[in-house]
Amino acid sequence: MSTFVGIEAGGTKFICAHGQDSHDLSDRVRIETTTPEETMPQVIDYIRQVSNTQRVDAIGVACFGPLDLDPFSEQYGCIASSPKLAWKNFDMIGCLSEHFDVPIGLDTDVNAAALAEQRWGAGMDIDSLIYITVGTGIGVGAIVDGQIIHGAMHPEAGHVLIPRLKEDTFAGICPYHGDCLEGLASGPAIKERWQVESALHLPANHQAWQLEAKYLAYAIHNYSLCYVPKRIILGGGVMKQPELLPLIQINVIKSLADYIDHAYLKGHQYISIAGLGENAGILGAIALAEREFNV
């Protein structure tokens, strides 16, 4: 039996666990994200302890971005121009491979979550899907024709531009683009626009959700035409409002106006809620390890 170590490397904490799949994850250990010098030795200790009792076949890291994932780049496997300055240019793959001679899979947290949803969640057996998380930010992970999309780096499709409703004068909160999707429709944008402490404090019949559904539907219109996924999986804190999914579904159908025609688009599962919830990150890390092992 293979054992995989998964590391969910987030901006405030690293979660480490090991196991073979979604059902047998063992001992989740939480390590504070401070500096590479403080955090990584604890991560390495964790992996070493696991190795003492069983064979570790691969390690997967689902990491905050931006990452350099271009195999042609000299900085491959490094954290790129991060606002977390202590981690800028940190060589995640290099650091781990100095200590462990096993395959190491690295990808962004949102790409890893997309992979976990494909492996064990709402996208099982689907070779082309996108995973969208709508929370503190908006992130998109895309798996098309069986491959996680990277390109020169990795998608940052939460920052796409969309049409504005004429009557909407909210400036948007994205420090780069103002009213890109993330600037208009992320959790913090909803809080700012409606002056509430949490998006989920807004009642289900509040006009906020109609607007949120329209803007997310415009973006999904664009993703549907760019990636042509067979399924779109929605996760993140904002999606905990149960009224939102059907509103988005209706608006996407209206917006695409039957222009593209394939069976998946017409299926009731085309836009689905994520199946793994809070576990998507750590399971994504395990899925990255598994994939790297099977390459």
Residue numbers at the binding site for a copy of itself (CB under 8 A): 66, 68, 70, 72, 80-81, 127-128, 140, 142, 144-145, 147, 149-164, 176-177, 179, 218, 221-223, 225-230, 255-265
CB of 90 to a copy of itself, least distance (A): 16
- H-helix or E-strand containing 104? strand 104-108
CB of 81 to a copy of itself, least distance (A): 5
CB 117 within 8 A of CB 280: yes
CB of 185 to a copy of itself, least distance (A): 14
Pick 83 or 242: Cβ nearer a copy of itself: 83
| Residue 66 to residue 156: CA distance in whole angstroms | 9
Pick 150 or 240: Cβ nearer a copy of itself: 150
CB of 193 to a copy of itself, least distance (A): 17
Q: Concatenated DSSP letters for 108-176?
A: EHHHHHHHHHHHHSTTTT-SSEEEEEESSSEEEEEEETTEE--TTS---GGG---PPPTT------BTT
User: If you compute the radius of gyration of the chain from its CA atoms, what whole number of angstroms results?
Assistant: 19
Pick 149 or 283: Cβ nearer a copy of itself: 149
Pick 74 or 197: Cβ nearer a copy of itself: 74
- Go through the chain and tell me how many residues it has: 295
| Residue 168 to residue 96: CA distance in whole angstroms | 48
CB of 261 to a copy of itself, least distance (A): 5
Pick 111 or 241: Cβ nearer a copy of itself: 111
Task: Identify the CA nearest to 21 among candidates 121, 147, 145.
Answer: 121
